[in-house]
Amino acid sequence: MNLSLNVALHGRIEGEATFCETSRFIGITGPSGAGKSSFLRCIAGFEKEAKVRASWPSQIASKEAQLKIGIVFQQPLLFPHVNVQGNLGLARRHASKNAISIEEALTGCCCSHLVHKSIDSLSGGEAQRVAIARALVNGPDILLLDESLSAIDSQTRRKIYRFLHKLCASSLLTCLVVSHDIDDLLLFSDELVYIHNGNIAAVGEVNNVIQAMFQYGGMESMETPSAVIDAVVEHLIEPEAGKIAEPDSSLNIANKVYSVMALGQRLYVSEKSLTPVSAYSHTSSESKDAENKPLTNGQPVRISIKASDVSIDTNVSGTSEQTTSSILNALTCHIGDITFFDSHQQGRVLLTLGIQDTSAQGSDNDKNGSQIHQEPLYAVISALSFHRLALERNMPVVARFKLL
C-alpha cells in the first residue's frame, strides 16, 4: 500500500497526496501562508477540526494503532530544565523499536559537541539540530519537519538532510519536510508536494512538480527555480594542474572538483554541489559509513542547477574543451517555453531549455542525431538580453553555468 494523505481543514488546507511506495523523503514547499504548516499539523493530529484520511505504507500499516508521528517545529520545543543529553535521554525512555541510538542521532545531526550544554545556551541552529536528534531517538515512523533546519548553515543542513535521507532508506522512517529552500528539497526529495493557496496543487517526481509550479505562478515568489540532473562521476580533477586523478585517491583538498557525465555531456562540479545517490537508494545494502567514503568512478550523483546561475550563448560551436570562457560547463539545448515575469520581477525572462542528450540513440533523435532530454534546465535572464540575442522557441543555444 502506498502512503496517501487526504486532509481538509476549512479555510487553511485541502487536498490529497499519494506517494510512490519507495518514497520516504518527501519535500513540501509553497509560498508563505499557503498551508504547509497546517498540512503537517493536520497529519500530526493537532487540528481537532480537521478531517484527515491516511493510508500508511504496508511496512508500517500493521502498527497503525501505535503509529508514532514525530514533529519538529521551526522554533524547537526542548525541555529547559535538563541539558542536551537529558533531553535525548528523556525521549529515549519512550522509544520504539526502530529508534536509533543517542550517539548515532547526535553524530548524524552534527551536535555531538553540544551534549553537555544547557538548553538556554544553545544558538537557534544548535537548538534545531538537537530537536531533530531528540525526535530520532524516540523512533518515529513518520517524522514531520516544519522548517526545522531553517537556522542551520547550508553545509551542515545538507549533511543532516543526507543523514536523514540515508536513515529513511535504511530503516522504516518516512520524513515529510517543509522548506522554502527548493534546492535542498530538489536534491534530497524522492517526491515533492507543492501547496498553493490552501490547496495541495501538485504532487510527484521533483521535475514534474517544478513544472507544475510555473502554472500556478509559484515561481514568481522564488528567486531561483532549479533543475535536477542525474549524472555519473567520471574523474577527480587535481586542482593545481587541472589534471585527472582517480576519484577515490587520497587527494587531501577541501572542496574537490569532479568531472561528471550527464546526458553524454561533460560537466565540472565541486564536491559540495553534488549529491551521491547510490548510497541512499532504497534497495541499497551499503554500510552506514558509506556517506563518508570518497566518490568512486561511475557513481551516480545528482546535481541541482539554479536558473539564475545559467547564462545563454547563441554561439553553439563554443562548447568544446578549447572554450575561452572561464565557465567550463556548457550544455547544448533548445529553447522551449518562454515566460515573461510580471509585477515585481518585471524585466526578467524565464527560459525552459530542453537539453540535447548526446548519449541517447533512438527514433526521436533530432537532426544532429541526438535526443532532447525530457527533464529541462531553466535559465532566468534579463529581458534586455532576451531581445538583444533575439531568442525564440526551438532555437539551439548553449547554456553555461558554474557548479562551484
Instruction: Calculate ∠ Cα 44-47-48, nearest 5°.
Output: 120
- Beta-ladder partners of 236: 245, 258
Q: Phi first, then psi: what are they for 252, rounded to 5°?
A: -100, 85
> Which residue, 164 or 193, has its beta carbon nearer to ligand ATP?
193
> Which residue, 12 or 162, has its beta carbon nearer to ligand ATP?
12
> Which residue, 128 or 275, has its beta carbon nearer to ligand ATP?
128
Handedness of CA 50, 56, 60, 63 (dihedral sign): positive
Residues that contact ligand ATP, how many (by CB under 6 A): 9
Among 239, 240, 258, CA closest to 248: 258
**Burial class, 152, CB count within 10 angstroms (exposed 0-12 / middle 13-18 / buried 19+):** buried
Strands (E), 134-271: 142-146, 174-178, 191-196, 199-204, 226-237, 244-245, 257-262, 265-270
Residues 16-35, interacting with ligand ATP (CB under 6 A): 30, 32-35
Q: How far is the CB of 310 from ligand ATP (least distance, A)?
A: 27
The reply to whether 196 sits near ligand ATP by the rule CB under 6 A is no
> Which residue, 37 or 356, has its beta carbon nearer to ligand ATP?
37
Q: How far apart are CA 82 and CA 60, in angstroms?
A: 33
Binder of ligand ATP out of 5, 12, 163, 352 (CB under 6 A) = 12
The reply to whether 15 sits near ligand ATP by the rule CB under 6 A is no
The reply to whether 347 sits near ligand ATP by the rule CB under 6 A is no
Q: How far is the CB of 75 from ligand ATP (least distance, A)?
A: 11
C-beta neighbour count of 172 within 10 angstroms: 18
Site string for ligand ATP, 30-69 (x = CB under 6 A): x-xxxxxxx-------------------------------
The reply to whether 170 sits near ligand ATP by the rule CB under 6 A is no
The reply to whether 106 sits near ligand ATP by the rule CB under 6 A is no
> Which residue, 38 or 370, has its beta carbon nearer to ligand ATP?
38
Q: Which three cell numbers stand for residue 181?
A: 529552500
Q: How far is the CB of 32 from ligand ATP (least distance, A)?
A: 3
> Which residue, 48 or 116, has its beta carbon nearer to ligand ATP?
48
Q: How far apart are CA 353 and CA 365, in angstroms?
A: 16
Residue 17, CA distances (Å) to 20, 53, 134, 201 in order: 10, 11, 28, 9
> Which residue, 193 or 349, has its beta carbon nearer to ligand ATP?
193
**Residues near ligand ATP (CB under 6 A):** 12, 30, 32-38
